[in-house]
Amino acid sequence: MRRRTLLATGMAGLTTVALGRPAFAGPANRHLRVALVPLDDRPVNTYAPQMTAASAGAQVQLPPKELLGRFFTPADGAAIARWLGSTDGVDGYVISVSMLAYGGLIASRTAAPTLAAALENLAAIRDLRSTRPDAVIEVHDTIQRLAITSTGTELDTYRDLLVAWAKLYDQVVNLGQEQLRAQLDAVRAQIPDQVVADYLAARSRNHQVNRLMVEWVADGTISHLVLSEDDTAPVGLARAERVELEALVAELGVGGRVEIFPGADEVDALLVARVIAAGTAPTYRAEYAGVSGESWTAQLESIPFAENIRRHAAAVGGRVVSGDADIVLAVNTPSSAPGQRAADLDAFVGRIGELLAAGTPVIVVDPLIVNKADHELVARMESGLDLAALLSYSGWNTGGNALGLALGHGTARWAYLRSSGSGFGVPELRGPGQAHAEYLLYRFVKDDPWKNVVQVEAYAHARAQGWDPLALTPEQKSYFDGWVRERLVPLTERYFADHFAGHRIVLGRRGARTFTATLARFESARVELPWDRLFEVILEPRLRLS
């Protein structure tokens, strides 16, 4: 069991005080509060932004859970619109158009919600601006991905064909690659007319709403907008829609208040962090494990990863620089040759260790492999670094997802530590410090051993019984709630014991004094499947500081 005591960011040369209780009593500053209409009810869109905020001493206020829908059951957008109008005493709003207009991300990919109903729900944003003219209203919408959602029905037969058709259509019709016409016609002939009609109807409706949101930035209704490209590709109908939206942004002169980039699930947490870090204008310098992000594009994305970093940094209120920076983004990119990989990773982890020892804040972004962490990297980090010293880590899902989740958490925590000595003396620091450690533990366990080990075993176990791991019955879901819990709770406890227990974390600073606490023990973890599938898991660890 490891018991390392390297301190977190900004420790070099400072006097440290270990805190078993708050060092100073006094009037506490009011917690910053953000009202969030999330993309859907999955942990990445609820727990992740909540913990991002909690690590910075802030609070996220969500609509009542029963309004948010679940899996294929859409949320009650009209009720969420009414909830939005009833919120009060908040410092900013983060609003997902997919949730408010259509009932969530999955519902937004179907033709069922009408444009009229969507616009009626979206009027809540206009009403909010009318009644609260000075409010910070952060909004995000998705540029619909090429693939439909797997439903476990006959419609899944056409999933890959629709993606192929959408790419070929763009290449032939929009880009003039007539040599692909016969291939386009052949793919189209395999898809029923109604399936294509529904697909295009959803895309058309969503694109109209995308455009409207840009117009609302121009007229001042929306403070700032992110249009995220959900699982995109270099060609396809999504590319053509993005080009039109970029032209509209330029025409209306709102480029400083609109970002368009690959991603989706990370944007709730990213924009919550933007509200928290407002006014701090953080700078970031990217350092890469392998090739430069300028020359590498992540899978399911359409722009070089370095450009995606620049756009995500702008979305959280910061910018990328080439020299001295507030925060270093340590980014796991592929090596130029397979035989170079081990040496690259060793040097990369060694470099992170040097940065931490020098007191440099570090965010680790692990976008290399879709849907999971790069275990070869994480294993080296576990043996060579104090994981609790990092500002944040993520290797979850797509490159943009991993980037935005790590960037949001790390930026919010950095902004909190930067301001922790201001106000009425040293505030209560232990709660945010505990939340930060819990979220770090969550990220490492969920992105590596859950994705690389437990989930793989769960998929195999389900298939061995003839069950679909992405479409469980209620009885199968109940079975796997227990099956996953039995494995993931002790695994999380062991991970804490091996890599976090006994480590000190920075709680805050006052002048030259840095206040710390020790990660004492693992208390419990809530574990269950949020939806009737094995793709993601609820994992909520609770720790004790001493």
Q: What is the pLDDT of residues 258-276, one digit of tens each?
A: 999 999 999 999 999 999 9
**DSSP secondary structure, 105-167, as one string:** HHHHTSS-S-HHHHHHHHHHHHHHHHH-TT--EEEEEEEPPSSPPP-SSGGGGGHHHHHHHHH
pLDDT score of 30: 65
Torsions phi, psi for 13 (to 5 deg): 75, 5
Report the distance separating Cα 310 and Cα 293, nearest Å: 11
R_g (Cα) of the chain, nearest Å: 23
Q: How do residues 338-397 score in pLDDT, each as one tens digit?
A: 999 999 999 999 999 999 999 999 999 999 999 999 999 999 999 999 999 999 999 999
Assign 3-state DSSP to the chain and report helix, strand, coil percentages, each to 5. Answer: 50, 15, 35
**What's the average model confidence in pLDDT over 500-518?**
92
Q: Which residues of 369-402 are buried (b: 16+ CB within 10 A; e: fewer)?
A: bbbbbbbebbebbbeebbbbbbbbbbbbbbbbbb
β-strand partners of 527: 539
Structure confidence at residue 422 (pLDDT): 64
pLDDT at 29 over 60: no
Q: Residues with Cβ < 8 Å from 153, sequence gap 6 or more?
A: none
Report phi then psi at 283, rounded to 5. Answer: -110, 145
Mean per-residue pLDDT, 40-45: 98
Q: With bands split at pLDDT 50, 70 and 90, how would you rate the model's confidence at 9?
A: very low
Do 237 and 171 meet the contact criterion of CB atoms below 8 Å apart?
A: no
Which residues, in sequence order, are bridge partners of residue 228?
142, 261
**Quick check: 124 pLDDT over 90?**
yes
Tokens 């439909």 sit on residue: 148
pLDDT computed for residue 53 by the predictor: 98
Residue 21 amino acid letter: R
Coil/strand/helix, residue 511: coil
297 Cβ contact partners less than 8 Å away, ≥ 6 residues apart: 234, 303, 304, 305
Confidence at 31, pLDDT banded by 50, 70, 90:
confident
pLDDT at 22 over 60: no
pLDDT at 168 over 70: yes
Torsion of CA 305, 41, 112, 138, to 10 degrees: -60
The full DSSP string for 139-151 is: EEEEEPPSSPPP-
**Predicted pLDDT of residue 366:** 98
- Residue for token digits 């059951």? 73
Q: Residues with Cβ < 8 Å from 187, sequence gap 6 or more?
A: 161, 164, 165, 168
| pTM passes above 0.85 | yes
pLDDT (0 to 100) of residue 24: 28
Q: Compute the distance between CA of residue 498 and CA of residue 2 in angstroms, rounded to an integer.
A: 5
- List of residues 6+ apart from 259 with CB closer than 8 A: 225, 226, 227, 311, 312, 314, 315
Using DSSP bridges, classify how beta strands 283-288 and 319-320 pair: parallel, antiparallel or unpaired.
parallel
- Determine the residue type at 22: P
Q: What would the mean pLDDT of 516-542 be, rounded to a whole number?
A: 97
Residue 417: how many CB atoms within 10 A of its CB? 25
Tens-digit pLDDT profile for residues 66-113? 999 999 999 999 999 999 999 999 999 999 999 999 999 999 999 999
pLDDT tens digits along 287-334? 999 999 999 999 999 899 999 999 999 999 999 999 999 999 999 999
Q: What letters, b where the CB count within 10 A reaches 16 and e where it falls short, cover 236-266? A: bbbbbbbeebeebbeeeebeebbbbbbbbbb
- 475 in helix, strand or coil? helix
- pLDDT band for 21, please (50, 70, 90 cuts): very low
Average pLDDT, integer, range 174-192: 97
Nearest alpha-carbon partner for 60 in 94, 98, 101, 104: 94
The predicted model gives 161-183 an average pLDDT of: 97
Assess whether pLDDT exceeds 80 at residue 421. no
4 versus 514: the higher-pLDDT residue is 514
Q: What is the C-alpha separation between 33 and 53, in angstroms, rounded? A: 9
DSSP structural state of residue 253: T
d(CA 177, CA 170): 9
Residue 141 β-bridge partners? 227
Q: Can you give the pLDDT at residue 444?
A: 98
The pLDDT of residue 213 is above 80: yes
pLDDT class for 55, splitting at 50, 70, 90? very high
Distance CA 466, CA 393 (A): 36
Q: For residues 453 and 24, which has the higher predicted lDDT (pLDDT)?
A: 453
Taking a C-beta distance cutoff of 8 angstroms, is the pair 67, 79 a contact? yes
Angstrom distances, CA of residue 495 to CA of 47, 249, 332, 362, 500: 20, 46, 22, 21, 8
